Amino acid sequence: METAKELTNGTCPFYDPQEFAKITELFGSMKILQTAGRARSHDESRTGQAAGLPFVIRSVQ
């Protein structure tokens, strides 16, 4: 509860801007995670193309 109070008062930062900049530099933007997504076709779900994966996903039976 005290942390929530400090956050809303602006006396406790939610994140470290320098650390966030470094993470963004290393891993790129995560804006794709903010989308509502899109429907995948059957082929895309099996190949991983919808997720931008460079390989084929195989089912284990």
- Report yes or no on 36 lying in a domain: yes
CA dist list (Å): 32 to 5, 25, 36, 58: 31, 16, 9, 24
Rounded Cα distance between 8 and 14, Å, is 10
Higher pLDDT, 15 or 61: 15
Count how many domains the chain has.
1
- Report yes or no on 61 lying in a domain: no
Average confidence score pLDDT of the chain = 75
- Report yes or no on 8 lying in a domain: yes
Q: Tell me whether residue 47 is exposed, middle or buried, using C-beta atoms within 10 angstroms of its C-beta: 0 to 12, 13 to 18, 19 or more.
A: middle
What is the pTM (predicted TM-score) of this model?
A: 0.41
Its domain, for residue 44, covers 2-51
Amino acid at 34: Q
- Report yes or no on 56 lying in a domain: no
- Report yes or no on 18 lying in a domain: yes
Percent of the chain exceeding pLDDT 70 equals 59
Higher pLDDT, 59 or 23: 23
- Report yes or no on 26 lying in a domain: yes
